Amino acid sequence: MSASQFASASQVQAKRSRRNALRSYLGAYGFMAPAGVLVVIFFLIPVAIILYLSVTNLASSNFTSDLAKMEYIGLRNYETLLNDQFARKIFFNTIFYVLFTLSIFNVSLALIVSLLTTHIDRGAGFVFRALWILPRITSPVVYILIWKRMMAEAPFGILNQFNDWLGTPTYNYIATNPWVFVVVVNGFIGLSFGMIIFTSAIESIPKDLLNASLVDGSSKLQRIRYVILPLIRWPLLFVFTYQTLSLLTSFVEIQLLTDGGPGLYRTEVWSLTAYHRALSNYFGNAQWGYGSAFAVLLVLIGVVLAVIYMRVFRFDELVAEPRVETL
Amino acid sequence: MLRRLLFAFVLLLLLSSVAGIALAQDAVSITVRCKASPPEEDWRCNSFAVVEEEVEAELGIEIDLNLIQDNAGWGDYKNEFVLASEAGEAPDIILSGHEDIGAWAPAGFIIPLDDVIGMHSQFDDIVPSLWDSHGYAGQIWGIPQDAEARPIFYSKLLLRDLGWSEEDIESLPDRVAAGEWTFADMLATAEAAIDEGIVDEGNGWWHRPSNGPDFLYYYYGHGGEVLDMEGNLVVDSEALVATYELLGGAVASGVLRSDVIGLDWNEVWHPTVAQADTVLFAAGGTWNWPNWSINYVADKGGDEFLFENIGLTLIPAMATGNAITLTHPLTYMISSGSENPDVALELIAAITTPEHNNKHAIDSFHLGILNAQLQSEAYANNRLLSSAHYMLDHTTALPNHPGWNAWSNAYFLGIQAVETGEADAAGAADIAIAQMQNELGDGITVR
């Protein structure tokens, strides 16, 4: 082969390889396109809209859906928000709520339930898991109504009926310990998500590995510590991340249970404030612009947390091809 | 034969279609949206169905009347109208609190009625003071649907246990109206009942368990104002502190529960108060009575049980020395998107008669809105209405102002602060005023 023929052949090869690369990219983006379109329609565009609303004074008294007619007020809503004497309290309430619900229920208890139900008889494990899923599949209104009926003060609450019979003092449980109930009620719902993910991850661990560890003389606890937990690291981090972001934006159960009270925003969380401001007000005249400012900050916090999680937990390494495949 | 039959059938079908189209073209579509607690408040919407034919005959048109009624929460109900208005799908007639005029009039969602009210003689007879709460920017924007009083319900049962004579009990409303028996007397009576073990601590007096219009009368009772002469928002700090002192003091003395805000209306508040054996004084609304009668004490005799064991009186005098109450008239407003506002107003006029409004007033224990109604036999002979109608002479109302929600939310924050012990009265006032100033800026004057 002459030098010119060699050059021409290598050009053709390079062109072909570029075409292949392009085709591969197009294929990948093509597969991602439906999800991408959904993200644009249901996330990016709404974010852009609330970002715009947050710099207007849109309220029921000047409501319009025409963006051009809305009155631009710059950062005044953010100024009002930062000057709000309860903004800090609501912010820390949110941190408290997310941290405790996540760590106690959504991750820890979910993991414990998964481990326990995968170490007992398969049928019994299934029944227990099915019971734990009930809070998730029950309508939030019905679910909260059950809690309220259970915990209502005497003579209406079921628990206080027992106090009455035993001659012990009766309590208005939810008003006395609002945070306990906010965390527990939400935790019972959140737990099922982690439980399903963890259980499927544990079940998918090859039985050879599990049996081998026992043959090597490990106890069941040691097997959990040194075999199971390392192998479900990815689902653990996924649940941790996903549930953090999910809890940040959840408020329905809190709204139904305490509506942010009692007292001065005792259990009010950021997303509930955004809802109260923009969408719900006893006397009407909802403040859409001001409520949007709360929502924008929530989006920002969520995005920052997502980036931090991805960096700290090295998600790119977790989803990378196994090294043995790339050799 | 078969062909003839088929021909006749097709002809009939064509004729009926043409007739249907003709009718549909003539029919004027009117949608009415009401919030009402069934069954006692059903006449808010149902009255329109009763007068539909009458209005059709009068105007010579066919009306396609759509009544949409439920008992949704106020916040959702009001948002629905705002969004529907913007989407061009608003009902022709919306029934809501008069204070919504303050938000919906400047937004252009409802139309002013000054020029057309005079065309309907029925409106001439409306109690003049009710028009005050229907104005905004010098115009009238709604037609009163009902009026009410927000009284103190007192347990006759428990007052008897406390040693009150029947004469003392029955004369209480008169003594309160005359300013002889004051709010301080009420609190002292409640304390005595607690001391004697007649009621448990915290059950001497209950107010409503959530934000709402009632709380404003404590502030009014201490001489506070919400609007100045020019219609701008103001807050009187002295009246505010005094109000919070009253509420905080009631908690401190054990008369009022610190967790009364947050009690469930239907699961705890109504069932407890209606029994008359647990709470001595309860601040409620006249419409609570039929609700209790139907839903909570029907098995004990309903109205008869309530008459025997519960009485109602004005809010006893506070610092101003005058007993008061607050009326929160619901009002029919006409949407600016209505294609037939004249027909809508004609329908409202047709139900604004003693005959129709009495049905609502009697069933739901709301007060009458027409002078003739007050003199009508059905109204005058009604034991409940006749026991409460005088309260309209002592009434106050909410302001119609776009900033009212911010004002009232801040005011309610102070109440929550002082009742839960998170702040003293002065601290609670500071919280409320700071909140008002932060959200209303120059739109509020602190006096």
> Which DSSP string do the residues of A67-116 spell out, in sequence order?
GGGSPB-TTHHHHHHHH-TTHHHHHHHHHHHHHHIIIIIIIIIHHHHHHH
Which of A86, A285, A290 to mutate against chain B (most B CBs within 10 Å)? A285
pLDDT at B221 over 90: yes
CB contacts of B423 in chain A (<8 Å) are 264
B216, B296 Cβ separation under 8 angstroms: no
Contact A261 B431 (CB under 8 A): no
How large is the angle between the packed helices A178-203 and A110-117, nearest 10 degrees? 40
- Considering only alpha carbons, which residue of chain A is nearest residue B212? A282
CB contacts of A280 in chain B (<8 Å) are 73, 75-76, 79
pLDDT at A7 over 80: no
In a domain, A39, yes or no: no
Q: What is the pLDDT of residues A178-226, one digit of tens each?
A: 999 999 999 999 999 999 999 999 999 988 888 898 888 888 889 999 9
Supply the pLDDT for residue A324: 57
Name residue, tokens 């923009």.
A278
A155, A212 Cβ separation under 8 angstroms: no
- Looking at domain B152-326+401-446, its CATH architecture is 3-Layer(aba) Sandwich (3.40)
Supply the pLDDT for residue A21: 82
Burial class (CB in 10 A: 0-12, 13-18, 19+), A314: exposed
Please indicate if any CB of chain B lies within 8 Å of the CB of A262.
yes
Q: In this prediction, what percent of chain B has a pLDDT beyond 90?
A: 71
Whether ipTM > 0.90 holds is no
Backbone angles phi, psi at A2, to 5 degrees: -75, 170
CB contacts of A152 in chain B (<8 Å) are 264, 267-268
Contact B271 A152 (CB under 8 A): no
Q: Which two tokens stand for residue B125?
A: 């007879």
CB contacts of B259 in chain A (<8 Å) are 172, 175-176, 262
DSSP 8-state assignment for residue B267: I
Q: Which two tokens stand for residue B163?
A: 């040693």
List the alpha helices (DSSP H) in A204-322: 207-215, 220-223, 229-231, 233-249, 252-257, 270-279, 288-312, 315-318
Give the one of A63, A259, A282 whose C-beta lies nearest to B82's C-beta.
A63
In a domain, A40, yes or no: no
CA B438 to chain A, closest CA, distance in angstroms equals 6
Which of A53, A57, A58, A60 to mutate against chain B (most B CBs within 10 Å)? A60
In a domain, A22, yes or no: no
Structural domains in chain A (count): 1
Question: Residue B15: CB partners within 8 Å, gap ≥ 6?
Answer: none
Give the one of A83, A262, A283 whose C-beta lies nearest to B404's C-beta.
A283
Please indicate if any CB of chain B lies within 8 Å of the CB of A140.
no
A105, A198 Cβ separation under 8 angstroms: no
pLDDT category of residue A320 using cuts at 50, 70 and 90: confident
CATH of the domain at A260: 1.10.3720.10
B373-395 burial: b if 16+ Cβ within 10 Å, else e = bbebeebeebebbebbbebbebb
Coil/strand/helix, residue B135: strand
Burial class (CB in 10 A: 0-12, 13-18, 19+), B24: exposed
Contact A261 B413 (CB under 8 A): no
pLDDT at B19 over 60: no
User: At residue A234, what is the residue type?
Assistant: W
Q: Give the integer Cα–Cα distance in Å for B109 and A110.
A: 50
Q: What is the pLDDT of residues B247-277, one digit of tens each?
A: 999 999 999 999 999 888 988 999 999 999 9
CB contacts of A88 in chain B (<8 Å) are none
Contact B103 A285 (CB under 8 A): yes
In a domain, A23, yes or no: no
Q: What is the pLDDT of residues B91-141, one digit of tens each?
A: 999 999 998 998 899 999 999 999 999 999 999 999 888 898 898 989 999
- Considering only alpha carbons, which residue of chain B is nearest residue A65? B86
What's the Cα-to-Cα distance from B361 to each of B119, B365, B392, rounded to whole Å? 25, 5, 14
Which of A283, A287, A288, A290 to mutate against chain B (most B CBs within 10 Å)? A283
Burial class (CB in 10 A: 0-12, 13-18, 19+), B224: buried
Mean pLDDT of A170-184: 91
Instruction: Report how many Cβ contacts below 8 Å link chain A to chain B.
Output: 119
CA A94 to chain B, closest CA, distance in angstroms equals 20
B310-313 and B330-334 beta bridge pairing: unpaired
Fold (topology level) of B15-144+330-389: D-Maltodextrin-Binding Protein; domain 2 (3.40.190)
CB contacts of A65 in chain B (<8 Å) are 86-87
Question: Residue B437: CB partners within 8 Å, gap ≥ 6?
Answer: B444, B446
Residue B28 belongs to what H/E stretch?
strand B27-35
Q: Domain residues for A128? A: 70-326
What's the Cα-to-Cα distance from B445 to each of A117, B29, B420, B437, rounded to whole Å? 64, 46, 27, 8
B350, B344 Cβ separation under 8 angstroms: no
Coil/strand/helix, residue A289: helix
CA A151 to chain B, closest CA, distance in angstroms equals 11
pLDDT category of residue B18 using cuts at 50, 70 and 90: very low
- Considering only alpha carbons, which residue of chain B is nearest residue A282? B75
Supply the pLDDT for residue B21: 47
CB contacts of B203 in chain A (<8 Å) are none
Contact B264 A148 (CB under 8 A): yes
In a domain, A208, yes or no: yes
A104, A189 Cβ separation under 8 angstroms: no
In a domain, A264, yes or no: yes
Contact B82 A60 (CB under 8 A): yes
Q: Which two tokens stand for residue A104?
A: 């106690």
CB contacts of A285 in chain B (<8 Å) are 100, 102-103, 402, 404-405
Contact A283 B99 (CB under 8 A): yes
Name residue, tokens 């009668």.
B293
Mean pLDDT of A120-139: 92
Give the one of A175, A264, A284 whose C-beta lies nearest to B100's C-beta.
A284
Give the one of A59, A60, A262 whose C-beta lies nearest to B262's C-beta.
A262
Supply the pLDDT for residue A323: 61
Average pLDDT value for chain B: 90
Contact B103 A280 (CB under 8 A): no
CA A271 to chain B, closest CA, distance in angstroms equals 17
Q: Give the integer Cα–Cα distance in Å for B444 and B447.
A: 10
Q: Which two tokens stand for residue A310?
A: 């991805």
Q: Concatenated DSSP letters for A211-238? A: HHHHHTT--HHHHIIIIIHHHTHHHHHH
Coil/strand/helix, residue A47: helix
- Identical fold between B15-144+330-389 and B152-326+401-446: yes
Residue B282 belongs to what H/E stretch?
strand B281-283
Q: What is the pLDDT of residues B299-335, one digit of tens each?
A: 999 989 999 999 999 999 999 999 999 988 899 999 9
Question: Residue A277: CB partners within 8 Å, gap ≥ 6?
Answer: A286, A287, A290, A291, A294
Question: Where along chain B do its domains lie?
Answer: 15-144+330-389, 152-326+401-446
Q: Which two tokens stand for residue A62?
A: 């000047």
Q: Concatenated DSSP letters for B301-357? A: TTHHHHHHHEEEEPBPB-TTS--BEE---EEEEEBTT-S-HHHHHHHHHHH-SHHHH
Q: Which two tokens stand for residue A196?
A: 């399903």
